[in-house]
Amino acid sequence: MNASILRPLALAAALGLTGLGSAAAEYTTLDTAASSLAFGYSQMNVKMDGSFSQLKATEFRFDPANPANAKVAIEVALDSIDAGYPEANTELQKDEWLALAAHPLATFTSSQVEALGDGRYQVSGELSIKGHTRQVTAPFTFQKDGDSGIFEGGFTFQRADFDVGEGQWQNFAIVANDIQIRFRVVATP
């Protein structure tokens, strides 16, 4: 064979193999130790923050090359709440707030993931807390970090939609209705 023909073939083969190594991965496993779920709220006009330390994916599938086929189902153990101080954590377990004895988990199940461009996406689905389910949409960013995929985003919901804060706590002057959720999810193929 002529050397001038071999060079383009070798270059094409090298480019093809390089492309295989950089192909987008489908992320299927939630790294719970590296992931975080935080919330913010206002109590008597003072900004407060908290978090949940236990989340689990019952289903997780995301391919940045095909986001329409993504599926996410997350469970959050509500007793893993840290609202900033022990008294608040104890109060939130009561029936007026999270009713942990009857409703130990909050869940989110996606129905659609859309690409918005430039590493930005949005996921829509059903959020269930305390026996109530509402549709929510959360914008998020995605970036690859080594073998991991990092998903960061958030959304706001109204606690009254889920009966979180019943009785005397329905007064939004004490605890505001808006709850801001921030997440950083780390997943691997």
Is the confidence at residue 8, as pLDDT, over 50? no
Is the confidence at residue 135, as pLDDT, over 80? yes
Q: Are strands 71-77 and 55-61 parallel, antiparallel or unpaired?
A: antiparallel
At 79-121, the pLDDT tens digits run: 999 998 899 999 999 999 999 999 999 999 999 999 999 999 9
Is the confidence at residue 2, as pLDDT, over 90? no
Ranges assigned E (strand) in the chain:
29-30, 36-43, 46-52, 55-61, 71-77, 81-82, 105-117, 120-129, 132-145, 148-158, 178-188
Output the CA–CA distances (angstroms, integers) from residue 142 to 30, 122, 160, 176, in the order listed.
Answer: 14, 10, 31, 30
* Mean pLDDT over each residue of the chain, to the nearest integer: 90
**148: CB partners within 8 A, 6+ apart:** 31, 34, 186, 187, 188
Q: Using the structure block, give the residue that is written with the tokens 């950089």.
A: 22
Q: Which CATH number is 24-188 given?
A: 2.40.128.110
Is the confidence at residue 132, as pLDDT, over 60? yes
Which two tokens mark 64?
A: 């940045």
Q: Which of 11-15, 69-73, 103-107, 141-145 has the lowest mean pLDDT?
A: 11-15
**How far is 19 from 15, CA to CA, in rounded Å?**
6
Q: Which of 121, 41, 114, 115 is nearest to 84 (CA)?
A: 41
Q: Is 71 exposed, middle or buried (0-12, 13-18, 19+ CB in 10 A)?
A: middle
At 56-70, the pLDDT tens digits run: 999 999 999 999 999
Amino acid at 39: F
Which two tokens mark 66?
A: 């095909």
Residue bearing the bigger pLDDT, 84 or 153: 153
Q: Write down the pLDDT at residue 120.
A: 98
**How far is 137 from 154, CA to CA, in rounded Å?**
9
Is the confidence at residue 19, as pLDDT, over 60? no
Output the CA–CA distances (angstroms, integers) from residue 7 to 11, 41, 90, in the order listed.
Answer: 6, 63, 71
Confidence of residue 25 (pLDDT cuts 50, 70, 90): confident
Q: Write down the pLDDT at residue 10.
A: 39
Domain boundaries, the chain: 24-188
